[in-house]
Structure 1
Amino acid sequence: MFNNSPQGIVILNKQDEILNINKGFEDLFQYTREELVGKKLAYHIVPDRLKEESTRYSERVFKDEVVRTETVRKRKDGSEIHVSILAFPIQFGDEDPAIYAIYSDITDRVRYQEDLQASEARFRTLANELSAMNDMKETLLDVISHDLRNPAGVIFSMTDLMVQEDPDSEALQLLKTSSEDLLSVIENATSLSRVAFGEDIQKESLDLAQLIPRIVQDFGPELKRNGLEVDVDLPDSLEIQANRLVSEIFKNYLSNAIKYAAHGKRIQIVGVREPHSVTVEVRDFGTTIPGDQLQSIFTRGVRLEGGKKKGRGLGLAIVKRIAEVHNGEVGVRPNSPKGNIFYVTLPVK
């Protein structure tokens, strides 16, 4: 295992002299075994500013501590890399105690984290500044729509990949959650910008009986993670004249059911066609919303209670505005025996 490990491994004595290294260590730091064995580790791979830190780590290990840390080390050519170190004491028979240290190159991960944190800080600063300027709301929506969506999507995608590689990193989990929240705010604001100022929107023939199952399919992984089953009961056709923005209504309803009512374990989506309108209900079996909140939750800035995530309370406000520009109606009422029924009624034409 010592020789075949892809990670860099070094064995040191109490004088910080290298007793042995593996090929992974040679590849990581660009030295050969012959160049290092018998030499001082700190002199070859520890930057001058971190030599005291390296000495403290060695002292801790020789006091029978296991050291886990992330720091910076240098290669033979002088370039610095970020590494994680796992070091612990070993002893073979009557030989003197030694240090067994495992080095992993985390340079790419650290740089991604730094870039993501810097990008997120820039976007948060921009969002906070623009939000404080009521007379710049239209400009804010334009900036969000055109300038922030793509980089925010890149931030989330890169963070998601990094979390898959290092699922135990709290810092990466925080970055993923924050970038997901940022992307959600941008997407909601983008949708709202199209209807917030009473702009005319183009309509086309849409069949909700085909649209809604596709939306449910898109939420498949999230539904599976939360242990939720969805029963879809729609007529063969629910055709209306509408803008594709109506999909945001069902995405919001389904997203809220997952966030706030996952403990109900199931969701029902039921559609009914009337002569001049269609009604779609999304029924959850979570905690019933108090009666005095049933109307206010469709107001901007009001959030459902009990969710795991914080937000700006834009989702249901967008739902209401999209329905209004289609001459439709939204609402919520209690489900039986518990939970809620979110509904939308839209005219056929």
Structure 2
Amino acid sequence: MSVVLIAEDEEAMLEIFAQVVEDLGHRALRAHNGEEALLLARTEPPDLVVSDHMMPRRTGVELLRTLRTDPRLRTVPFLLLSAARPAGLEEADAFLAKPVDLDTFEHAVERVLRSRPAPEPREEAMPTGARAERSSGAVREEMLNWVAHEIKTPLSSARLNAQLLLRKQAERDFPDEKKCTETILRQLDRMNALVTSILDAARLSEGKVALRLERGDLTAFLQEVVRDWRELQPQVDFHLTGVEQRVGLSFDAERVRHILNNLISNAVKYGGESRRVEVALSLSPGLAVIQVRDWGVGIPASELPNIFDRFHRAEAASGLGHGLGLYIAAAIARLHGGSLSARSTLGEGSTFSLRLPLSGSGFRV
């Protein structure tokens, strides 16, 4: 049995994390802030620290860095949780974004417990210019992180409790109650998606998003994305073309996946009775072009110039969505030095075209 120290300032979250850890067969130590967590760790060195980031008296990253300076605690694995993506998260052994999925949390705890001790972090001086830039945007970034924490923490607590309830209902075979709980989970996921989109849109508009470019095979990446959608929506015919040869370029896989998931989700949602979505890869001079096409309701010509604006929803949307998905997707495309465009005919469907430079040079917006 391992000893797991859990640091979380929200009592409901602290208790449910502790319950999950104890259900896994480990002993949980509870801390309500960073300073209390540090005292407990020095009193009884744990086998794993699970910590929220935004806590009073010491943030999660500050707690991590203090533990790394203690000879007795520097090798203790650290699992960081946060509704935002704080600077320094890469120093932790693992990071989970709130709201946390129950299975994902359990797997992360077991995996990090089995992992090798984390290497000591390297201290790097921050350039003067970067320090000044951080100072100028620190207040706004702190506000965004506060909003993420204050909204996503209760969302995470509600979601974890609903998942635990769903497990118990499945064991007792209560189908009606199980259906209600599944509905609650879906609505919580919609709320989380909305909050995430609002925060992403704010950061993009402020130029606070930078890409993590890595060289990769766009063909293999597209095949993986479409394969995931085939598993998620088996009733839809996903047709993938243009992937006969490797296309190498530098791109942020997580961000491009976000764009494609948004486009494919819209194609499924507004695809009408055809239940067919085509994803096509082609090359033009200096560009890789990914097209997502459906044969659904289409978009009125008067709406097309505005569909990439913030909070804009076409009339055909019938109240679905929050009007941020295409805005965020277009901004991420521009970050890559590319673009996102659309053409559509009412009653005949829509085609969205994502263009990425083969040179792979990303930009800030």
Task: Place the TM-score, normalised by the shorter chain, in its bin.
Answer: 0.5 to 0.7
CA contact (8 A) 1:276 1:348 kept: yes
> TM-score, normalised on structure 2?
0.51
**Quick one: which of 175, 178, 185 aligns to 1:176?**
185
The answer for the alignment partner of 1:250 in structure 2 is 260
1:142 — aligned with what?
145
Q: Partner amino acid for 2:285?
A: P
Q: Quick check: 1:188 aligned with 2:197?
A: yes
Equivalent pair of 2:230/2:236 in contact (CA under 8 Å): no
> Is this contact kept in 2: 1:167–1:173, CA < 8 A?
no
CA distance in 1 between counterparts of 2:318 and 2:230 reads 19
Question: Cα offset for 1:230?
Answer: 0.1
Confirm or deny: 8 A CA contact 1:198 1:325 kept in the other structure.
Answer: no
- Overall identity of the aligned pairs, in %: 24
- Matched to 2:248, the amino acid is E
| 2:276 alignment counterpart | 266
- Shift in Å at residue 296 of structure 1? 1.1
1:296 has 2:306 as partner: yes
Q: Which residue of 2 aligns with 1:278?
A: 288
Cα distance in 1 between the residues matched to 2:160 and 2:237: 27
Distance across 2 between alignment mates of 1:216 and 1:179: 26
The 5 Å alignment of 1:106-117 reads none
How far is 1:287 from its partner?
0.6
Q: Displacement, 1:305?
A: 4.4
8 Å Cα contact 2:217/2:248 also seen in 1: yes
Provide, for residues 195-252 of structure 1, a one-character-per-residue CA deviation record: whole Å limited to 9, x for no partner. 332244332213221112222222334312xx21100113322322222312211011
Separation of aligned partners in 2, 1:237 and 1:230: 20
**TM-score, normalised with respect to structure 1:** 0.53
Q: Distance in 1 between matches of 2:189 and 2:351?
A: 26
Alignment equivalent of 2:211, drawn from 187, 190, 201: 201
Please state how far the C-alpha of 1:171 moved relative to its aligned partner: 4.3
In structure 2, the partner of 1:89 is none
User: Shift of the alpha carbon at 1:308?
Assistant: 7.4
The 5 Å alignment of 1:146-157 reads 152=155, 155-156=158-159
Check conservation: 2:213, 2:252, Cα contact below 8 A.
yes
For 1:328 and 1:345, locate their aligned partners in 2 and report how far apart those are by CA, in whole Å: 5
Aligned to 1:230: 238
Q: Distance in 1 between matches of 2:195 and 2:140?
A: 13
**1:168 CA drift (Å):** 3.2
Q: In the alignment, does 2:324 pair up with 1:314?
A: yes
Q: Which segments of 5 or more consecutive residues in structure 1 lack a partner in the other structure?
A: 1-118, 120-135
Among residues 310, 323, 342, which one is paired with 2:333 in the alignment?
Answer: 323
Task: Find 2:354's aligned residue among 332, 338, 344.
Answer: 344
Amino acid at match of 2:166: M
Paired AA for residue 321 in structure 2: G
For the structure 1 residues 282 and 346, does the alpha-carbon distance in structure 2 shift closer, same or farther, using more than 3 Å as the test?
A: same
Shift of 1:299: 0.9
- Structure 1 runs (4+) deviating above 6 angstroms are none
Q: Secondary structure at the match of 1:324?
A: helix
Letter paired with 1:172: T
> 1:307/1:334 Cα in 2 relative to 1: closer, same or farther (>3 Å)?
closer
* 1:211 paired to 2:221: yes
Please provide the CA RMSD for this pair: 3.3
Give 3-state SS (helix, strand or coil) of 2:219's partner.
helix
CA drift at 1:342: 0.9
In the TM superposition, 1:85-164 aligns within 5 A as 138-139=141-142, 141-143=144-146, 152=155, 155-156=158-159, 159=162, 162=166
CA contact (8 A) 2:236 2:276 kept: yes
Q: Matched residues in 1 for 2:263 and 2:199: separation?
A: 18
SS in 2 for 1:219: helix
Unaligned runs of 5+ in 2: 1-98, 100-138, 360-365
- Residues 231 and 144 of structure 1: CA distance in aligned 2, closer, same or farther (over 3 Å): farther
CA contact (8 A) 1:284 1:335 kept: no
In structure 2, the residue matched to 1:86 is none
Provide Cα deviations, 1:158-181, integer angstroms capped at 9, x if missing partner: 546729845534743542232120
What does the per-residue CA deviation read over 1:125-184, in whole Å, with 9 as the maximum and x for residues that have no partner? xxxxxxxxxxx8644532465665576456446546729845534743542232120121
**Relative to 1, partners in 2 of residues 1:300 and 1:286: Cα closer, same or farther, differing over 3 Å?**
same
Q: CA deviation at 1:258?
A: 1.7
